[in-house]
Structure 1
Amino acid sequence: MSDDARALRRDWNLFTALTFLFSFGFAVYSGVFQNFLRDELHAGPLQLGSLESMREIPGFLTAIMAGTLIALAESRVAGLGLLITGIGIGATGHMHSFAPLVAITVFWSIGFHLYASMSSAITLTLAKGQEGGRHLGRMAAVGSVATLAGLGIAWLIKQLFEAVPYNTFFYLAGAAIFAGGVLCMMLGHHSASEGSRARLILRREYGLFYLLTFLEGCRRQIFSIFASFALILVYHVPLAHMLALQLINSILIAVTAPYIGKLVDRKGERGPLTFYSIGLIVVFLGYATTKTVGALYALFLLDNILFTFGVGFTTYLNRIVRKGELTPCVAMGLTMNHVAAVTVPIGGAWLWQRFHNYQLPFWIGVAIAAVSLLAMRWLPTGPPPSGRVSGEEEEMEAVEEKLGRV
């Protein structure tokens, strides 16, 4: 094995390990946070929606933040983001009133979104243009195994020590994410895209990608915030049950994610993402119409499995992107995603509290999923031509020719 191949393998091992650590820590944090809000701060839906909207403001500014750090390699930006996230999440348990909680949440959210804007681009760069969907699916599976481990440990701690303070969970989560940041700083040159990186990218030819990521942001916020909070606040599901539910979810994702990634590589994005949109309509309709807790559990699991199909958005961008524009395009897509993320939580929470009906945000979700289904018809059919998977490695003239055909 050549030195270059060994260096690539080392970078893959480091990136896999840091992906595990981040997902582990964030699973511990996410598994207990909404129960922490209810038990320690006695927060209602409007406070939750306000907090989530403010938490997503750094995501709205992702492209700008990433652009200001253009001199740093992607791995350094991502590592810095993980270090900030670990510190902020570790301190969360010390926030005993709403205003300080908002402040620390916005602080760690800056780091979280820096990492999020770089992680998929690093994956595709390490993949060297080969089977991007499979590698994204593999990283999703690693994240799911880590989530399973994090939720399992959190559940075990809760079972063994009933009165354990929430600080314990936040310290554990923050330490794992901080360790992931240290590993990220150790990544080598294979994790950095070749050539210079553009600062900000907003091109008409990427318009469909921006639209799809905007709609995905709406969907993600509605379900990730209101589905779990409805179970906790309306149906009084205890922490142990929520952790168990997320444990099952992680097992399902770990099993299905690699296959979904391979499916996207083999079939292209249009078919899988169309199926994804239809599935979302079913999930949102279910939450908007049923009040059976068992059915809501099943829909919760189904939505999280469907979420794995989202790798198709990134592989579609990788199919059409110009050389040197992958990372800033991903960052701009994340910004478009968060245009919705800043407004949807507070709007949905206002509807819930104003009309005393938690199901109203899910009816909006039905409409958004229907629009997404229509937008999928603009995606190209079939997989990318053989040997032309990654725009990062193509010559500019070849990229332009392909864009013309698409």
Structure 2
Amino acid sequence: MTTTTRLADAGALPFWRRPQALLFLMAAAMPVAFATWSALLNNFVIEVANFDGHDIGWLHTVREIPGFLAIGVIIVIRYMHEQVLALLSLALLGVATAVTAWFPTLGGIMVITLLSSIGFHYYETVNQSLQLQWFTREEAPRKLGLLLSVGSAATLASYGLIVLLWEPLSLTYNAVYLAAGGFTALVAIFAFFAYPRFEAPNPQLKSFVLRRRYWLYYLLQFMAGARRQIFVVFAGFMMVERFGYDVHQVTGLFLVTLLCNMIFAPLIGRAVQVFGERRALLFEYAGLVTVFTLYGGIYFFSWGVVVAATLYVIDNLLFAMALALKTYFQKIADPGDIAPTAAVAFTINHIAAVFLPAALGYLWLVSPAMVFVLAAGMASGSFLLALLIPRHPEPGHETIFAKLNAAAPAE
């Protein structure tokens, strides 16, 4: 990264060296490490480290600490360009994933998970900022949907290789983690040297930004983070603990989910563009209330693995609609607020993540069904909050209570 190029001048570069091409390259590289880590995690910790619900809850609490501290990005970008930070974070994620199997104890897994999580969460924070700066408001919903599709395709390739080769080649956790993490790290290194540093037209504030007029966005981020944790931590764990899924079976379920995401993510982006953020988020939250309620029913009514697997796929598709929350913020934000607010939002999103997995790990030991009932309640709260989003949000008209002003107020 020896040169600097203004975003307006990037069109003169070869197509593969343009800023949007970099976003798509990173979108393909990140899931290879993260999705492979996720696919193997539940089997790895149960078979190698003898984890129970309490242990997995604490592991995910540790994993979410860097997300809670994502606000530190504001300090880092004072001294480091966002694009550089994104690539360095991506490389850290890859390296930490690669060596995961070298630490097969509770303490070792927690330490290496913390390192990979720093890479993941700092990458995601800066990447979201770059997306909203490098895409126009008109193209953002469609392009964000395409990025989801590309990430799903990369994850699909990873899952497909695991499903096809795990048993025939007698693959080990170490071999798979090394291959996936090493690939992501190498892509990050390549991108660092192959792409110029792109300068967006609107300089980003390098200070803490917490504006009153973004209050609804902050609340929706908090609820999304709390609700998401229950799914990430316990839905996959349930498939292994209750239904005895092996590695290739868990990965096969993820593979089906990714196929659906590849097909529907671009359509979801178009739907957000046509119907607006309010309707898209209301549809997502209503669907999540239903899905989480049915998750609880698996324990109350002893429904089988087919129902659980179907709900898992539907759950993932609904979460893909969360891109509407990004575009909602893009429409109401001052252009210079995007980077610092992305960091603040990531911290808010992870407030519950620091304590919720560990706390619910104890509840899981008593009643797994109640964990999912609690998630349904959180989704209901999000639905009520989404009713406050105006049909056409913009600065000065962030909620249905805000009067439409010609210019957004400073606070």
Q: Normalising by the residue count of structure 1, what TM-score does the alignment of the two structures yield?
A: 0.91
| 1:373 correspondence with 2:363 | no
Change (3 A) 1:400 1:349: same
Aligned partner of 2:179 in structure 1 is 172
Q: State the alpha-carbon separation in 1 of the partners of residues 201 and 44 from structure 2.
A: 40
Q: State the alpha-carbon separation in 2 of the partners of residues 345 and 60 from structure 1.
A: 13
Deviation of 1:71 (Å): 2.8
Q: What letter matches 2:371 in structure 1? A: P
- Per-residue CA deviations over 1:293-335 (Å, capped at 9, x if unaligned) read 1111100000000111000111011011112110111111111
Q: What letter matches 2:181 in structure 1? A: G
Aligned partner of 1:393 in structure 2 is none
Aligned partner of 2:269 in structure 1 is 261
State which drifts further: 263-272 or 54-63.
263-272
State which drifts further: 250-259 or 192-201.
192-201
- Per-residue CA deviations over 1:96-154 (Å, capped at 9, x if unaligned) read 21111111111121111110101122122222343211111110010001110010111
8 Å CA contact 2:332–2:393 kept in 1: the answer is: no
Gaps of 5+ in 1: 386-398
Please tell me the root mean square deviation across aligned C-alpha atoms, in Å. 2.0
Aligned partner of 2:309 in structure 1 is 297
Change (3 A) 1:279 1:40: same
Q: What letter matches 2:323 in structure 1? A: V
Change (3 A) 1:334 1:193: farther
Aligned partner of 2:55 in structure 1 is 47
8 Å CA contact 1:120–1:136 kept in 2: the answer is: no
Aligned partner of 1:37 in structure 2 is 45
Q: What letter matches 1:99 in structure 2? A: G
8 Å CA contact 2:33–2:97 kept in 1: the answer is: no
Aligned partner of 2:398 in structure 1 is none
In structure 1, the residue corresponding to 2:138 is in which secondary structure? Answer: coil
Change (3 A) 1:215 1:191: farther
Gaps of 5+ in 2: 1-7, 396-403
In structure 1, the residue corresponding to 2:368 is in which secondary structure? Answer: coil
State which drifts further: 9-18 or 235-244.
9-18
Question: How is 1:198-217 mapped onto 2 (pairs within 5 angstroms)?
Answer: 198-217=206-225
Q: State the alpha-carbon separation in 2 of the partners of residues 368 and 93 from structure 1.
A: 35
Q: State the alpha-carbon separation in 2 of the partners of residues 196 and 217 from structure 1.
A: 25
Question: How is 1:146-185 mapped onto 2 (pairs within 5 angstroms)?
Answer: 146-162=154-170, 164-185=171-192
Q: State the alpha-carbon separation in 1 of the partners of residues 161 and 289 from structure 2.
A: 33
Deviation of 1:191 (Å): 6.2
Aligned partner of 1:361 in structure 2 is 371
Q: State the alpha-carbon separation in 1 of the partners of residues 269 and 199 from structure 2.
A: 20
State which drifts further: 148-157 or 49-58.
148-157
8 Å CA contact 1:40–1:96 kept in 2: the answer is: yes
Q: State the alpha-carbon separation in 2 of the partners of residues 329 and 189 from structure 1.
A: 22
| 1:4 correspondence with 2:10 | yes
Deviation of 1:352 (Å): 1.0
Q: What letter matches 1:79 in structure 2? A: L
Q: State the alpha-carbon separation in 2 of the partners of residues 70 and 110 from structure 1.
A: 18
- Per-residue CA deviations over 1:167-203 (Å, capped at 9, x if unaligned) read 0111012112212322442443446463243322111
Change (3 A) 1:376 1:51: same
- Per-residue CA deviations over 1:47-80 (Å, capped at 9, x if unaligned) read 0000100110011010123433323222111111
Deviation of 1:400 (Å): 6.8
8 Å CA contact 1:83–1:182 kept in 2: the answer is: yes
| 1:270 correspondence with 2:278 | yes
8 Å CA contact 2:225–2:353 kept in 1: the answer is: yes
Q: State the alpha-carbon separation in 2 of the partners of residues 383 and 188 from structure 1.
A: 34
State which drifts further: 49-58 or 65-74.
65-74
Match of 1:224 among 221, 232, 240: 232
Q: What letter matches 1:212 in structure 2? A: L
